[in-house]
Amino acid sequence: MKAKEIDRLKTVLSYNILDTPAEEDLDKIAELIAMVCEVPIAIISIIDDRRQWYKAKVGVDNDEVPVEDSFCQFTLIEDRFLEITAVQDDERVKGKPAAQGVDGLKFYAGVPLKAPDGHNIGTACVASSKPHKLTEKQKKAFELLADQAMTLIDAKRSNQILGDELKTILDRQKSILKKSIKQKESEFNALIQAISLSNALVQFNPDGTIFEANQIFASYLGFTSEELRGIHHDELLFEEDRKNNKAFWESLNQGNFKSGQMKRKHRSGKEIWLLATYNPILDSEGKVFKIIKIAQEITSSIESRKALQKAKDDAIQLNIQKDNFLANVSHELRTPLHAILGFTKLLLEEETDTIKTEYLNAVKTAGDNLLFTVNDILDLSKIESGTILIEQLEFDLHQLIHEVASFLKIKAVQKKISFTVEIDAEVPKWIIGDKNRLGQILINLIGNGIKFTDKGYVKLKLERVRENTSQVILKFRIQDTGIGIALEKLSMIFDRFSQSDEKISRRFGGTGLGLNISKSLVEKMDGTIEVSSKEGLGSEFSFTIPFQRGQQPIEKSKEAAVSFTQSKQVIKILLCEDNEINQALVKTLLRPANFDLVIASNGEEGIQRFQEMDFDLVLMDIQMPIMDGYQTTIYLREKLHTQVPIIALTANYMLKEKQKCLELGMNDYLSKPFKKEELFEKIYLWGDSVNKKQLITKTEEDQAAEASVDLNVLKEYSCGDEAFEHEMMQMFIGQVEKWKTAMDNHMAIADFKNIADSTHKMKSSFGVVGADTKDLINLEDLAELEDIAGIEAVYSRVIQYLKIVIPFLENKMKK
């Protein structure tokens, strides 16, 4: 075969892919050619090396013909339009099968179909069994239509090639995808396999029935894998958990993943805990077709956690019991101790015999020491349980130092060592803080100084470290020239029960609690404590605490006391107290003065006595049989509607208890053991009806001064308009009520921001009526410091203050 023919065949081959039946368009062209040429036969065909393939035809039945039998092979050879008008005479074709017989072809005309590369891939031809000849026009039209047919074939081939290319690309992609799906599938299976080796694995149908569970899962629940197959998830749950299970499965069916600790029922009925995940698996349409659960058993860790929680709860409960026990024991110890000390003091006042006085002093010292120890133990338990509260009240620091110094001076004198106090000029006189706790720290540190010093001196130095608008920071140094502390002991000197030397503890006594309590108290006041010492040379303990500056409060008690001593009035007092020693002590203490004392041994008896006669004052013990002090007060206030002053005699000097007394309607409190002077002061303040009457008849200015309300402020605002003043007062009273409710809520949840905000708003209302805003400013500062104990203390002071201010304003409005 010639090279040219080979090239042509290549082109033909590229068209031979057109093995689909001829398209309608090609058929129409064949029809058109037959019509134009006015012949019955027209064929559009492709010719390869062996056959002529009819792609469109009119007037013939067969679809192909061998090349050697075809007329068109000559059109191809001719390579242009070929017309044979007398087939029977033409040497090339007269012997061909189609030319034979009566109906054999007499006429033939063909046009080669030329591909864009110049090769003829086939022909368009017309034929007839009658002689015929094409006109010039027909020939032209025939050629044009043949051209059209070629264009169509070409377009179809291009489309097909494109389509094939696309198909190849798609096929390739499909096979890549298939491979990766296969890969993923085997990875997934390997994963499931790996998971199921060490985890419980269950596969559920979307309705919650198990279709496969591995041996691990089955063994968790006491079943075999076969036994689990087909059972519903519900059956693994306890009755009470089943009601929520429907919703659980609905959610899983929505494709939601679930995980957590789940309680399941073992075959034996016992609880099993699983840490499980439920994974919905989606089909290609996004529908859940199964749910795979992976789980691990955690029953033992849940049980141990429960046991741990129980142990913790028990420990907390035990701690509460311990606190109560300690509080009760300390009460039981302090009550008789209080009596011993009280009576000893009375005896000492009367005793003239020196030897007896010495013995009595020994009893007093021992009692004082015992009281310290009992108080230390109580403090310790309060520090541990976090119930210790630090008061924030105004007090005279210089006075406190004076009291502490005179108390300790006696001991220093007894030991023949010097004890001096130096206070810097910048140290303020009035500060806000917890006077008693500060005193306790000083007594402990100075007391230790004196205890551990045999010659030389003990010095208390007080200096101001720094001051800013809200705080003054004070440093207390306690220096001594005593035995000092060994270097290796210094680091643990503040630890509980630590004493630097056993010999020392035998020689000096003590419990080793004092420094630990002092440190806790200093830290509770936001301060720091430190020590430096040289063995044999002496020690310096120093602590630094920030305080707020205070102002001298109005001292009503002193005034009352003075006026009382001038009055000849007899005060009728009801003492509700169950302890006979305490009854006797109060009786003895009150004997020399102008009092009429009636004693009741419990609250019920107290109420009876109260109904039988008039009293000016009630002294109320808290812990009493039958009816305690709280219940009795509620009865007196709510059932008998009496306003007679009630003073609580509290055993536990806890702030909360004091607050509770005030809230229940008592007027004041006195912590046991109390001193004679303290008891008298309270009685003078609350019990003197003459004095009270004097108070009532005070001038408006006096009352205003007492209420510390500056009436001029409102007057300035109102320019003398009294109606306006009353309106403002009324508004103020309304706001106070709202503020109190809000504050109670905020304080209950320690919401410092709202405490500060609502107090800030209230401050301007206080300002308008001329009330004292100092404590509100304090409250704002304390809220910023997030000091809830301070807030509670100052807030209760504000409430006390309002108890004077509001009746004063109400009184003023009536006029």
Contacts with ligand ADP by CB under 6 A lie at 444, 448-449, 452, 480, 482-485, 493, 498-501, 504-505, 510-516, 539
Contact 282, 289 (CB under 8 A): yes
HSE, CB side, 13 Å, CA atoms: give it for residue 256.
9
Residue 514 vs 603, nearer CB to ligand ADP: 514
- Which residue from 656, 427, 657 is spatially nearest to 545, judged by alpha carbons? 427
Task: Tell me the DSSP string of 86-98.
Answer: -GGG-TTTTTSGG
Residue 500 vs 582, nearer CB to ligand ADP: 500
Q: How far is CA 505 from CA 451, 502, 511, 512, 766, in A?
A: 11, 5, 8, 8, 56
Residue 228 vs 485, nearer CB to ligand ADP: 485
Task: Tell me the DSSP string of 117-145.
Answer: TS-EEEEEEEEESS-----HHHHHHHHHH
Q: How far apart are CA 715 and CA 305, in angstroms?
A: 68
Shortest approach of ligand ADP to residue 498 CB, angstroms?
A: 6
Residue 129 vs 479, nearer CB to ligand ADP: 479
442: tokens are 């000083």
Q: How far is CA 693 from CA 567, 598, 616, 800, in A?
A: 12, 23, 12, 20
Residue 289 vs 497, nearer CB to ligand ADP: 497
Chain centroid, CA 262 distance in Å:
24
The answer to whether the Cα torsion of 250, 253, 256, 259 is positive or negative is positive
Q: Which residues of 640-667 are buried (b: 16+ CB within 10 A; e: fewer)?
A: eebebbbbbbbbbbbbebbbbbbebebb
Residue 535 vs 668, nearer CB to ligand ADP: 535
Shortest approach of ligand ADP to residue 536 CB, angstroms?
A: 10
Shortest approach of ligand ADP to residue 458 CB, angstroms?
A: 8
- The three-state DSSP-derived secondary structure of 321-386 is HHHHHHHHHHHHHHHHHHHHHHHHHHHHHHCCCHHHHHHHHHHHHHHHHHHHHHHHHHHHHHHHHC
Shortest approach of ligand ADP to residue 461 CB, angstroms?
A: 15
Residue 495 vs 786, nearer CB to ligand ADP: 495
392: tokens are 């924030």
Shortest approach of ligand ADP to residue 753 CB, angstroms?
A: 40
Residue 499 vs 758, nearer CB to ligand ADP: 499
Shortest approach of ligand ADP to residue 738 CB, angstroms?
A: 49
Residue indicated by tokens 């306790």: 440
Residue 512 vs 767, nearer CB to ligand ADP: 512
Residue 95 vs 509, nearer CB to ligand ADP: 509
220 burial level (CB within 10 Å; 0-12, 13-18, 19+): buried
Shortest approach of ligand ADP to residue 327 CB, angstroms?
A: 22
Contact 575, 602 (CB under 8 A): no
697: tokens are 């008849």
Shortest approach of ligand ADP to residue 511 CB, angstroms?
A: 5
Shortest approach of ligand ADP to residue 540 CB, angstroms?
A: 9
Contact 598, 592 (CB under 8 A): no
- The residues, any chain, with a CB within 8 Å of residue 441's CB and separated by 6 or more, are 476, 518, 521, 522, 543
Shortest approach of ligand ADP to residue 395 CB, angstroms?
A: 24
Contact 230, 209 (CB under 8 A): yes
**First-residue to last-residue Cα distance in the chain:** 139
Shortest approach of ligand ADP to residue 420 CB, angstroms?
A: 16
Q: How far apart are CA 499 and CA 509, in angstroms?
A: 10
Residue 439 vs 512, nearer CB to ligand ADP: 512
Shortest approach of ligand ADP to residue 334 CB, angstroms?
A: 19
Residue 543 vs 547, nearer CB to ligand ADP: 543
